Chain A
Amino acid sequence: MNPSPEKGAKCEVSFFVNGKETNLHAHPMERLLDVLRNELGLTGAKEGCGEGECGSCSVLLDGMLVNSCLVPIAQTNGASVVTIEGLSTHDLMSPLQHAFLECGGAQCGICTPGMILATVHLLEKKPEPVLSDIREGLAGNLCRCTGYMQIFEAVAKAAQRRVAK
């Protein structure tokens, strides 16, 4: 073992966060989650397990749902990141956020940002999901409050409204 590991230099990261061009310096192995929360003040993504099991740190990276605790910041250079903060406009909730509120899909709130981003990703791929699609789309997001039924209901309601529009 090397007793005094070489200290790595910071790298330049230039990416889009919720549509806004963002430039910063960071150690390349810093986790996207920590950069969002600590450098950019975007605390919507939560750290649950820190090992990709719970989904509470979910964000969209170039439109793909990812666990931001497992993404080194250097891999986001040039990418577009969307967090829960990017879904509301002028403090107005998105229809999807509204559906979660209406159905009681949000209780303590720790899993909610991840659940909602997983739903955004799901509805992009499958605009008219059946229950098994919803269950699969959200299978990587754990909730300890709701028992999931209200969340599935919120997703179904949001999907119906989205298609009806």
Chain B
Amino acid sequence: MRADPAEYKLVSPGNLQGVLSLLASEPAQWLPIAGGTDVMVLYSAGKLPIRKLVDLWNIPELRQIEVLPDRIHIGAACTFTTLRGHEIISREFPLLATAGSWTGGIANQNRGTLGGNIANASPAADSLPSLLVYGAELTLISMRGERRVPYGTFHTGYKKTELAADELIQDISLPRKFSGYISHARKVGARNAQAISKVCLAALGQIASGTIRDVRLALGSVAPVPLRLEETEQLLVGRRIDSSLIDAARKSVVDRIRPIDDIRSTARYRSAVAGNLVAEFLEKLAMEGTKA
């Protein structure tokens, strides 16, 4: 059943303070909306139980990108188009820029926001594994004050997050220390644009005198949350890449992930592909290592 617009409210305070005071006044009664690429889909389908929405689209504080010497702060309402077009992000955080280019099509990238992608908390979202490997930190803000949360602990279960009912994601910050890394992003889906991933990988690695100095791996669509593969990383660090190491990595990935059968794929397929994607990255890392 279609939603009846007369039953919904949408308020545009136009500044962050106004949004936070609404969220604080009636916690859990207000739903923030930015570009609407997730919220409007539920609304149109008549599946949006919350009837009061507060507009983040025109809040300047949430649209800024601040580049500091050691970190970059990305306002939560920056769109994927903004991220893709940003010079420092494309150069130093290519996994995020690439994931942005896979998110929906151009029209959805013009409206969809990074903060929205995080808050929507889909384990299949293309941008989220890249935030895990870049060691992102979130600033959460409410009338009670602000707090910083490592992104790695933000998702607590399927569509469950650390975000309190009166809180908003204000910015996503990334340390600027990965520009020397070899990066690798892969999406396996019906197509890159529009289609939701069956499995996606974000990976970073550094290789020195033939051995892996550092490696960071994260997968989407293989567990209730976007998943960092710490065990696999630990297995790899300090090792020389050969076929037995790749086999061990593949096994550790398959042991760690918890994929499911759904409309897009099967658990079995996802396990095989997840292992293959990590193996593919390690082969690339080994090749780059011999070049350097």
Chain A residues closer than 8 Å to B58, beta-carbon distance = 75
Are B104 and A52 in touch, CB under 8 angstroms? yes
On whether the beta carbons of A8 and B9 are closer than 8 Å, the reply is yes
- Contacts A51-B44, A74-B55, A139-B194 given: A27-B6 contact, CB under 8 Å? yes
Chain B residue numbers with a CB within 8 Å of A77 are 12
Q: How far is the CA of A5 from the CA of B6 in the complex (A)?
A: 10
Please report which residues of chain B, range 42-73, place their CB below 8 angstroms from some CB of chain A when the two chains form the complex. 43-45, 49, 51, 53, 55, 57-58
CB distance from B45 to the nearest CB of A (A): 7
> Do the beta carbons of A71 and B106 come within 8 Å of each other?
no
Residue of A nearest to B41 (CB): A51
Q: Are B8 and A69 in contact (CB under 8 A)?
A: no
Within 140-174 of B, Cβ neighbours of A (below 8 Å) are at none
Contact A29 B43 (CB under 8 A): yes
In the complex, A141 Cα to B104 Cα: how many Å? Answer: 11
**With A51-B45, A74-B10 in contact, do A64 and B51 touch (Cβ < 8 Å)?**
no
From residue A18, how far is it (CB to closest CB) to chain B in Å?
19
Q: Which of A50, A53, A74 neighbours the largest number of chain B CB atoms within 10 Å of its CB?
A: A74
- For residue B125, CB closer than 8 A to chain A, the reply is no
Most buried by A among B81, B107, B108: B107
Name the segment of B32-40, B87-95, B129-137 touching the other chain: B32-40
In Å, the complex CA distance between A29 and B12 comes to 12
Which of B40, B41, B49, B192 is within 8 Å of A1, CB to CB? B49
Give the contacts of A114-147 with B (CB-CB under 8 A). Answer: 118, 121-122, 136-137, 139-141
Is A30 in contact with chain B by the CB < 8 A criterion?
Answer: yes
Q: How far is the CA of A57 from the CA of B55 in the complex (A)?
A: 22
Please, how many angstroms separate the alpha-carbon atoms of A73 and B279 in the complex?
A: 48
In the complex the two chains form, what is the Cα distance from A153 to B219 in whole Å?
37
Q: Say yes or no: is B111 at the interface (Cβ < 8 Å to chain A).
A: yes
Q: Does A72 contact B (CB under 8 A)?
A: yes
Chain B residues near A122 (CB-CB < 8 A): 106
Hey, what's the 0/1 contact readout for B2-16 against A, CB within 8 Å counting as 1?
010111111110000
Say whether B110 contacts A53, CB under 8 Å: no
B193: CB under 8 A from chain A? yes
Tell me which of A28, A29, A141 contacts B3 (CB under 8 A): A29
Complex Cα gap A64–B111 (Å): 9
With A52-B40, A64-B110 known to touch, is A140 a contact of B105 (CB < 8 Å)?
yes
Contact of A65 among B33, B101, B106, B192 (CB under 8 A): B106
A71 contact from B36, B45, B104, B105, Cβ within 8 A: B36
* CB proximity of B96 to chain A, nearest CB, Å: 18
Q: Which residue of chain A is the closest to B81 with respect to CB atoms? A: A64
Residue of A nearest to B101 (CB): A136
**Residues of A contacting B108 with CB < 8 Å?**
52, 67, 70, 140
Contact between chains at A140 and B7 (CB < 8 Å): no
Q: How far is the CB of A6 from chain B (nearest CB, A)?
A: 7
Provide the bound-state CA to CA distance between A51 and B194, in Å: 11
Q: How far is the CA of A138 from the CA of B235 in the complex (A)?
A: 43
* Candidates A7, A28, A29, A66; contact of B110 at CB < 8 Å: A66
User: What 8 pairs between A and B have smallest CB-CB spacing?
Assistant: A140-B105, A139-B193, A28-B10, A27-B5, A29-B8, A70-B40, A8-B9, A64-B110
List 30 A–B pairs whose Cβ atoms lie within 8 Å, in order of A's numbering.
A5-B51, A6-B7, A6-B9, A7-B6, A8-B7, A8-B10, A28-B8, A28-B10, A31-B5, A52-B41, A52-B107, A52-B108, A53-B194, A64-B81, A66-B110, A66-B111, A70-B41, A70-B44, A71-B36, A71-B40, A74-B12, A75-B55, A77-B12, A118-B106, A122-B106, A137-B106, A139-B105, A139-B192, A140-B194, A141-B105
Q: CB within 8 Å of B: which residues of A?
A: 1-2, 5-8, 11, 26-31, 50-53, 55, 58, 64-67, 69-72, 74-75, 77, 118, 121-122, 136-137, 139-141
